[in-house]
Chain A
């Protein structure tokens, strides 16, 4: 647990705000836990891919392999009282919030032991006790829902934030541009999403910023094909 300081490989870019420092504080035990969690997520998604191709998982199966650094880095920066809401690409987000592998696979295979008792499926994992609000199938729907979660935190005067995760598909949906294109006033960050430490730094920065100044948009570059 001795502290180590590591420089991120890629610098942060910022818009309408200061960029966070490239020097990230971490420790060897944290880095090992990153590796363990990310490897577990990767193995889960690859296994899910095989199960889906064997038709043991039905319907849809959107995989997160390639983006593991995001789920893991974010969790390192926030608490289980900060809220997360995301799209249908939710398997690893569920694990990151403390979900168990067996609950995830049971859900994917439609079993009662599943985290949604088999009633949700791949796109509808939730973990309310860890403030993870799903798991949403309609592209872009999670964005105003996430605003609502943050609204509730502000209304109740809680010092917690909401992370609303979406991809480039949702970035086109009317609900999102309608709010943000009306004027160039929302600050932003551009982050190397393949670097768990950079993600951790960016999320820490974003949480502090949101509590003090309001919403911030962060673009995490990740490639999901390998």
Chain B
């Protein structure tokens, strides 16, 4: 498209220039005689009807298009020649002036959905797409051949690996995730700033991996972990034996946690790097928007493909995917594809009720339900801490939202005291497979596992009024048995009682911070950097969908459920503080408490730091996605965050203030409630 535009510009810019004058003249003359202009226009329009030969409809169309195009090009042309808008100085330039230069090699680990995927082998319908991006880039194939596109992106339902005859692979290199779509940066800003202080390909590496696979499968299929290990070792050696700084984002955080365990585990399952590999090669891990303990959004996503915006699928969904692109049943199609992606399961809430709260309590009890604007006003007073707490009290809402109930059926159920809830032991769910809800003949192809469930068993699901983080897993096991069975061979969501139990050597525990020990690397530093100040999905109010139509999803978020005035409940979703995708508990808990000091999860006492970035929406459209954003992806353009990364990469440790908390952090309630975790 850009090429066409450029071509067109080439062709037409010059003629356009030559018209500038006459046009202006004309305008002037019109300006001098405004009354003429008015009169002139009338006869014209009349003539259109009178003399069809001269002003045919086609001609006027052409005229209009030509007029629009011409003025568009003119504007474009002028735009190119205008001096660039005053851009605030990039942090890289400033820090370079301060004398910072590239020191430690940097490894970037992208998160879910932001990495590009390209086609290496496909079915006949994908002809001509060899090594073209299916995911990322301009997504043109969605429109051209949507079903073909979906077919190629889904994985095998049994193995979680490639379906036969299809090979879709991660794009390698920095291009994999610098821009997600044209103009929508992910890592590009950070890369550019790193380059300003001297980074380039030889000391910067993007650990692109296929984010649809479970973590261990990326090693089995693509040797992605071996590759990462080899790259880190290479950079360590070629850059004068300087340890690397790792910057993972979103799901990349737990992917890298998995890597840390994998690399020190003995082969064949592990990388065989020996017990001091991490201590030798890694200086710091700067987690951005870490999803350590999972993301509640995932529950809704698996349950009904509805989580408001699981990153970008959802961002696209309201506009594109909900429309009738596939004729009908867009959501079902998406759900079917998403359920073949094992990695989605890695984002389910971990730690069960201990972390996420049970029917009665949740760690965020003191959370204020604010509209983001109110929060925005308040943030300015954060320096005066005393006032701040007072202010917060006044913002307190009477009803305590019970966030612990991650899924509840009906608004009342989400608010009732637990004694009045009818709770069925989730283990009692029985699949009544035989009596399929829809007779197969009438519905044809089975799209999701819901079609195999009987209406009765779904009703039974809804009879259990509320699900906590733990029972929600049971619920998912019930509604999506195949997926959970496949994925739970790769992921675990519990809390370890005894970390020395030999069973924890299995790779399925490696990506769960609550079931692994950090490596023995006392000099390493772990940063948890994330945005705050944006309402983030935390729990859902569900209802049974009314339609009993073929192939419909039987559960859906009750979007009519709203809380009182500025409550946290909006459209069936309870909100808490976070970065729009990951709630603060998930992102910050491990660094704030789980790993702080010497704990059983962190036996060698790796120092951890929490760095929060208060969200500030861009002031104007010109600013794009803002330089002070705290949103999950937009934070990658946050100047303060970039500066932190740059300082650490350039060798600073103490220069970074150890704790950057925008407000009193949730650790206080956490210490009150998360009993077992504190027993270190």
Q: Are these two chains actual partners, yes or no?
A: no
A residues with a Cβ closer than 8 A to B are none
